[in-house]
């Protein structure tokens, strides 16, 4: 599946209650549609004070619903009809008043009516709060938020930051891209619910002197995609990342390191606390025995400095040998003879699964092709974008884990 079609076939009712964050809802409609969803917008009277129904209609390509008395519905039951084909109702922004209304079971306008009337077992309710920081922190709002969660709703956010009133704190609505990612994650199968997954990603950097070092071309994109996919699948995820310029996937705990030794020292204490360890990092096999205190300079003689090297610790093998070792998945980035090298690496590391790929053909790219190697043989995951492959790999790992 193309990453931009993650919501293909999904029908979403997007509700807007009153708040300045309604301006973000326009971009949210675009993102949902871009990812393949059909979007039906429903607005409260207050929301229409902040953004026009014409704007939302143009972006969604559907007429906007504003009133429970809308005469377009033959049975005069818009609050029933709008949710019967919906996969989810997303209210963004969800004001303090609207959350209070849901907590009390009140339904005096179309949006609250359809939230109450939706088929609760198959149509999820997701709320993106947006309000002043004091309103969000107020005990009544916190009590109401806890009640709607207890009633089955999912609260997305809020975020902290600058607010329209000039204050700073919790209460900002999540950005459109974040909300779209949250909705995509909601629909992913929760194959790793209750599991803890540790992932290493990216290259390492082995210092030669204060300004130079040995590294490789790994971008970290595959490891970060696996971290996102595992989190979407319900896992609690910790990501140990080498030096990369990638944003942290939502709800993933990140530990930044630089060298192979630092990655080893971060991973080993964490591994026994996790059910799965996925070693996607392209860890340098060797490092300079000593890091020069100053930059090594050319002296004009043409002499080439000799740099003694020493072997780095084998992180994956060390984790696999732990008494309480997690299920270990290694990666083999090879330049040739992929299957042969992956088979040998699996046996050498003592792990149940190795994922092979051709490093020069994938470093820095957004797509990849993977070869799964285990004691049963080999199986290829055909070339696709890295997030699609990550989700397929997560499904493979989930099937191989022992029942709890």
Choice among 22, 115, 123, 165 that is catalytic: 165
Helix, strand, coil distribution of the chain in percent, nearest 5: 35, 25, 40
| Range list of β-strands (E), 217-301 | 236-241, 253-256, 276-279, 286-288
Distances 123 to 114, 115, 116, 272 between C-alpha atoms, Å: 11, 9, 11, 38
Is 328 noted as a catalytic residue in this protein?
A: no
Please list the residues that pair with 141 across neighbouring strands.
none
How do strand 367-374 and strand 353-358 relate by DSSP bridges?
antiparallel
Instruction: Give the 3-state secondary structure of residue 120.
Output: coil
Please list the residues that pair with 198 across neighbouring strands.
238, 277
Cα dihedral 37, 381, 350, 335 in deg (nearest 10): -120
Instruction: With beta carbons less than 8 A apart as the criterion, state whether 166 and 130 touch.
Output: no
- Of the candidates 143, 104, 149, 158, the residue with the CA atom closest to the CA atom of residue 125: 149
The catalytic residue positions are 165
């Amino acid at each position: 599946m193309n990453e931009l079609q993650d919501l293909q076939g999904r029908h979403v009712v997007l509700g807007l209650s009153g708040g300045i964050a309604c301006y973000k809802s326009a971009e949210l409609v675009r993102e949902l549609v871009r990812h393949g969803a059909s979007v039906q917008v429903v607005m409260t009277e207050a929301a229409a004070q902040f953004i026009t129904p014409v704007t939302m209609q143009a972006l969604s390509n559907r007429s906007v619903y504003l009133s429970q008395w809308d005469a377009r519905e033959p049975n005069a039951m818009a609050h029933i009809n709008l949710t019967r084909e919906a996969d989810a109702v997303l209210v963004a922004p969800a004001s303090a008043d609207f959350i209070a209304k849901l907590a009390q079971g009140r339904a005096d306008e179309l949006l609250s009516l359809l939230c109450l009337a939706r088929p609760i077992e198959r149509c999820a309710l997701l709320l993106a709060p947006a309000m002043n920081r004091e309103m969000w922190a107020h005990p009544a709002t916190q009590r109401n938020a806890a009640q709607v969660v207890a009633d089955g709703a999912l609260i997305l956010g809020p975020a902290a930051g600058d607010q329209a009133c000039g204050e700073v704190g919790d209460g900002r609505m999540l950005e459109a891209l974040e909300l779209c990612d949250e909705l995509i994650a909601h629909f992913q199968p929760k194959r790793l619910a209750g599991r803890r997954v540790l992932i290493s990603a990216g290259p390492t950097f082995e210092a030669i002197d204060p300004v130079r070092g040995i590294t490789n071309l790994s971008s970290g994109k595959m490891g970060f995609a696996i971290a996102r996919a595992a989190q979407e699948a319900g896992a609690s995820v910790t990501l140990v990342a080498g030096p990369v310029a990638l944003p942290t996937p939502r709800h993933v705990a990140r530990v930044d390191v630089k060298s192979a030794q630092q990655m080893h020292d971060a991973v080993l204490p964490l591994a026994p606390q996790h059910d799965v360890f996925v070693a996607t990092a392209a860890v340098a096999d060797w490092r300079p025995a000593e890091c020069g205190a100053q930059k090594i300079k050319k002296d004009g003689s043409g002499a080439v400095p000799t740099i003694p090297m020493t072997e780095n610790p084998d992180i994956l093998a060390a984790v696999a040998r732990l008494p309480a070792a997690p299920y270990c998945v290694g990666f083999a980035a090879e330049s040739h003879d992929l299957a042969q090298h992956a088979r040998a690496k699996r046996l050498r590391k003592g792990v149940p699964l190795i994922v092979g790929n051709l490093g020069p053909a994938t470093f820095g790219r957004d797509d990849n092709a993977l070869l799964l190697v285990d004691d049963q043989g080999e199986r290829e995951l055909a070339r696709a974008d890295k997030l699609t492959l990550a989700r397929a790999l997560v499904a493979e790992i989930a099937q191989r884990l022992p029942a709890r």
